[in-house]
A and B are shown apart, each in its own frame.
Chain A
Amino acid sequence: MLVPLLIAFVGIYALAKGTDVFPVFLRGAEAGLHTAVGILPTMIALLTAVTMLRASGFIDLAGQAMQPVLSLVGIPSDCTALVLLKPLSGSGGLALGQEIMRSCGVDSYAGRVAAVMLGASETSMYTIGIYCGHLQLKRTRYAIPAACVADLTAFISAAVCVRWLG
């Protein structure tokens, strides 16, 4: 119920502010379509790799291997590989995430945890690379450890929040 209200609010606000609402929306929507189509080549590459990895049984094995640790915090074993992949690659994370949602069921516990993990975390290593590279920092000091703490917290609290908040 939040989403339709938000859409209506933005529309009314923009109209009240004298924005040329319809053309502006179309311009933005076109940019969004470009994004969706633009990630296609990346998704072809990564979904192929991820589907292969899943079919080979690797993801299940990794899940079983890390199960004792991850089950302590309630992360389902199906989501294990996502914990490893998401900080490294955003589109890889998305590819694996959708594969988990598809095979476990989009509204299943594992499927929902995967979705929340994707929504609540960023591609940290890539981000650090961009910012530190741009600033030409010689040492990143604690940037990577702090980002790892943030990611791990996001993954653990994703499982907790799905149980509490649905």
Chain B
Amino acid sequence: MMNYLWVSLMALACITAGITGRMAEVSAAVTDGAQQAITLCLSIAGLMGLWSGMMELMQQSGLCEKITSVLRRPLSLLFRRASHDRETMECIAANVTANLLGLSNAATPIGLRAADKLYDLYGRRGTPDEVLAFVVLNTTSIQLIPTTVAAVRASLGAQQPFDIMPAVWGASICSVLAGLGAARLFAHLGKGREP
């Protein structure tokens, strides 16, 4: 996937440059882009390190578990079948917590475990609606603190790198609701065909 994506981005640039006659600009962009990558990564490293440290503190001090236990109840409304299974609910809540805190390294492994347990509850057959709802939930971003974006904004000299947070929350909430709503709607529409 990345193979095709990367090569087609560059090929597209060359073809467009051929048509618009901006080959000189494009070849200047090659050196510029590679150099920018170094500047970007180095200038976001400080904030990324800081947040990663804070997250480690949240995990080690038990703050993450606290958030997980708060989330368990509302989430069991969303996953009816799983709500009777403590272990599955635990994994789902831990996945959502990790996503909320932007712990993407932790979110995926625990998320896969949650998806496995959820699928087990359905006897690992077909493509159950609750499993799909969980996958769709993970395709939406529910991050409380958009660390990476804030770090990029800081590296570009934004006045207040974190002041986009309310807008990010608003857009995230809309997106989560729309995703889950669409999943529910599609599930309902497909009821006749899927046993």
Contact = CB atoms under 8 A, between A and B. Distances in A.
Interface of A: 2-3, 6-7, 10-11, 13-14, 17, 19-21, 24-33, 35-37, 39-40, 43-58, 61, 88-89, 92, 94-95, 97-99, 101-102, 106-107, 112, 115-122, 124-132, 134-135, 137-143, 145-147, 149-154, 157-158, 160-162, 164-166
15 contacts: A29-B53, A32-B50, A35-B52, A46-B6, A51-B33, A53-B9, A55-B26, A97-B149, A116-B164, A131-B112, A132-B135, A142-B132, A142-B190, A143-B135, A150-B182
Top 6 A-B residue pairs of the complex, sorted by shortest distance between their CB atoms: A28-B56, A32-B52, A150-B179, A51-B33, A119-B146, A142-B186
Interface stretch (B76-84, B86-94, B166-174): B166-174
Contacts of A135: 115-116, 119, 131
Given A48-B34, A52-B33, 6 more contacts: A46-B6, A52-B10, A55-B17, A95-B37, A120-B172, A153-B179
Interface in B39-79: 40-42, 44-45, 48-58, 60-63
From A17, A135, A137, A146, name the one whose CB has the most chain B CB atoms within 10 angstroms. Answer: A146
A125 B145 CA distance: 23
A166 B136 CA distance: 28
Describe B's contact surface by its main secondary structure. Answer: helix
Contact of B183 (A13, A137, A146, A154): A146
